[in-house]
């Protein structure tokens, strides 16, 4: 069985989309792929409840309980490794990971970013796209490297920027596409 471990910090909508798609497409019996665990750095992350409802193992590691970013990442890597992951999926995990963590999971660590990378790395992507006068925005699934939001692109979806768009409206349309491409990219990467 190829295990997926998903990291979240909040609502977990992308995690839920992956879990839902895996169930609907019967990844476990068709491909030997399953979501084995969902980990969060926040005990109140709503996505943990969604995972528990689906019978998926959950764990919380509060980053504030560790003396350094490196110490947290080492503990997080150990917790992930306990599930023998074929893939680690960042789904709204709001922590910048250390190079050591990224190296440990090299080629097995993916993220989704709410822009058409390489444009608009970092935060506030939707507002920045509107302010730049972009006609299109979107989202990108990519392999994680030590440099933020620049790893090899696995999949993208394009969303038009509409006249009078707000960052919130654009974000909602982009999120709809995230829920479609993230499961697709995860499966494709594991089947490659």
Verify whether residue 113 is a known catalytic residue: yes
Please tell me which residue in 31, 63, 83, 113 is annotated as part of the active site.
113
Cβ–Cβ under 8 Å, residues 71 and 41: no
CA 142 to the chain's CA centroid: 9
Beta strands in 41-84 (DSSP E): 57-60
How many Cβ atoms sit within 10 Å of the Cβ of residue 89?
A: 28
Encoding tokens for residue 71?
Answer: 């110490």
Sign for the pseudo-dihedral over CA of 114, 116, 122, 125: negative
Cβ–Cβ under 8 Å, residues 189 and 18: no
How many Cβ atoms sit within 10 Å of the Cβ of residue 168?
A: 9
Cβ–Cβ under 8 Å, residues 115 and 129: yes
Q: Give the residue numbers annotated as catalytic, written as ranges.
A: 113
């Amino acid at each position: 069985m190829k295990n997926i471990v998903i990291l979240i910090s909040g609502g977990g909508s992308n995690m839920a989309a992956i879990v839902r798609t895996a169930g609907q497409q019967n990844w476990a019996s068709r491909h030997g792929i399953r979501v084995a665990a969902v980990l969060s750095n926040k005990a109140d992350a709503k996505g943990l409840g969604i995972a528990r409802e689906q019978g998926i193992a959950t764990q919380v590691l509060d980053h504030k309980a560790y003396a350094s970013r490196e110490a947290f990442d080492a503990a997080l890597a150990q917790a992930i490794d306990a599930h023998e992951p074929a893939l680690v999926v960042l789904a709204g995990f709001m922590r910048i990971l250390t190079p050591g963590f990224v190296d440990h999971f090299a080629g097995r660590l993916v993220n989704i970013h709410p822009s058409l990378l390489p444009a608009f790395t970092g935060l506030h992507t939707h507002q920045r796209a509107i302010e730049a006068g972009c006609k299109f925005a979107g989202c990108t699934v990519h392999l994680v490297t030590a440099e933020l939001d620049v790893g090899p692109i696995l999949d993208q979806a394009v969303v038009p920027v509409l006249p009078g768009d707000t960052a919130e409206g654009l974000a909602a349309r982009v999120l709809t596409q995230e829920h479609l491409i993230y499961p697709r990219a995860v499966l494709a990467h594991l089947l490659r």
